[in-house]
Amino acid sequence: MRDGLGPARVRLFGGPVLAELQARFGAAARAKVRAGEVVDADGVVVTETTVLPAGAHVYLYRELRDEVPVPFDMPVLHRDDDIVVVDKPHFLATMPRGRHVAQTALVRLRRELDLPELSPAHRLDRLTAGVLVFTTRREVRGAYQSLFAAGAVRKTYVARAAVDPGLALPTVVRSRIVKRRGHLQAVEEPGEPNAETLVEHCGDGLYRLTPSTGRTHQLRVHMAALGVPIFGDPLYPEVIDVAPDDFSRPLQLLALRLEFDDPVTGRRREFVSDRRLQDGCVSDAPRAALPGSRPRR
């Protein structure tokens, strides 16, 4: 682990390793090979004359691009030997992907808490704020990830959107949602439903959303389909181009509460976000030092 990041794994086409790395990563690859920073799957240092077969892997640390800092804090709601639970702000991705690497919840927490084996038990969209669970060590990672994958976690979200007097609520929205690689939006298609959300109006444009499935962008797609897209959504119903450093209009969607039976201890767990949707704005504050953990049952 280096600065909260593990090495990247590169699958080779086969042949001289240096030539392939230079073709894919440029001149910096030669410097990494000469510095002994590239190794194969057995940990053997790759040299300028190393040849490996197709399908072999080498490992190297990526050169990080400059990223726009996300200027909001991420309080720790709970920390023990198995998990860390945080109150993720808007605009911070859960884990490295695409242009977001250092400015992600995972990397930031690994650095600040000195937990190199920290791993997310589930994910929140980059634009969604709220309760996010990480495992602290690899021995328990599978148990918590399986819990979320199996849908054994009760999730409650709140959102702000327009009020449609003609919309009959509460209602359960069921549809088939598909998210294709290379497309920003997920879409609803005919076929067997794979996404289900209970939508309730709590008054004054505040909605409680209880999903029983976890498709990508599910809540955003379902609210847009009802004709009341979530305030601040740059993707639904239409894609809006937003500058990377524009934090002025956060998506009004908050993962308010998580409840589950702990797969390691057997205890009932409940974690609640301290953030609130207020007057169309989320109460994010400028980033400060990471607070200490506060126990939750």
pLDDT, one tens digit per residue, over 67-81 is: 899 999 999 999 999
Highest mean pLDDT among 225-229, 244-248, 277-281: 225-229
User: What is the pLDDT, as a whole number, of residue 93?
Assistant: 96
Q: Looking at per-residue confidence, does 253 or 65 come out higher?
A: 253
* Beta-strand runs (E) in the chain: 8-11, 15-16, 39-40, 51-52, 57-60, 76-79, 83-88, 119-120, 129-135, 154-160, 171-178, 187-189, 195-203, 206-211, 253-261, 268-272, 277-278, 281-282
> Is residue 289 scored above 60 in pLDDT?
no
> Is residue 285 scored above 50 in pLDDT?
no
Averaged over 278-286, what is the pLDDT? 43
User: What is the pLDDT, as a whole number, of residue 276?
Assistant: 83
Q: Looking at per-residue confidence, does 4 or 24 come out higher?
A: 24
* Chain mean pLDDT for the chain: 90
User: What is the pLDDT, as a whole number, of residue 61?
Assistant: 85
Averaged over 14-31, what is the pLDDT? 91
> Is residue 173 scored above 60 in pLDDT?
yes
Question: What Cα–Cα distance (Å) separates residue 71 from each residue in 25, 106, 234, 246, 264?
Answer: 31, 16, 19, 11, 35
User: What is the pLDDT, as a whole number, of residue 284?
Assistant: 46
Residue pLDDT, tens place only, 124-135: 999 999 999 999
User: What backbone phi and psi angles, to 5 degrees, belong to 47?
Assistant: -110, 180
> Is residue 187 scored above 80 in pLDDT?
yes
List, in sequence order, every residue forming a beta bridge with 131; answer none if it has no partner: 87
**111: its two tokens:** 């650095």
> Is residue 251 scored above 80 in pLDDT?
yes
> Is residue 282 scored above 50 in pLDDT?
no
Q: Checking DSSP bridges between strand 57-60 and strand 51-52, what pairing results, if any?
A: unpaired
> Is residue 100 scored above 70 in pLDDT?
yes
User: What is the pLDDT, as a whole number, of residue 83?
Assistant: 98
User: What is the pLDDT, as a whole number, of residue 47?
Assistant: 94
User: What is the pLDDT, as a whole number, of residue 28?
Assistant: 86
Q: Looking at per-residue confidence, does 277 or 275 come out higher?
A: 275
* pTM metric for this prediction: 0.83
Residues marked as catalytic: 125
Provide the percentage of residues in the chain whose pLDDT is more than 70.
93
Check: CB of residue 177 under 8 Å from CB of residue 221: yes
Provide the percentage of residues in the chain whose pLDDT is more than 90.
81
Q: Return the sign of the alpha-carbon dihedral for residues 133, 159, 290, 248.
A: positive
User: What is the pLDDT, as a whole number, of residue 233?
Assistant: 97
> Is residue 293 scored above 60 in pLDDT?
no
Averaged over 38-59, what is the pLDDT? 94
User: What is the pLDDT, as a whole number, of residue 102?
Assistant: 87
> Is residue 113 scored above 50 in pLDDT?
yes
pLDDT band at 5 (very low <50, low <70, confident <90, very high): confident
User: What is the pLDDT, as a whole number, of residue 2?
Assistant: 75
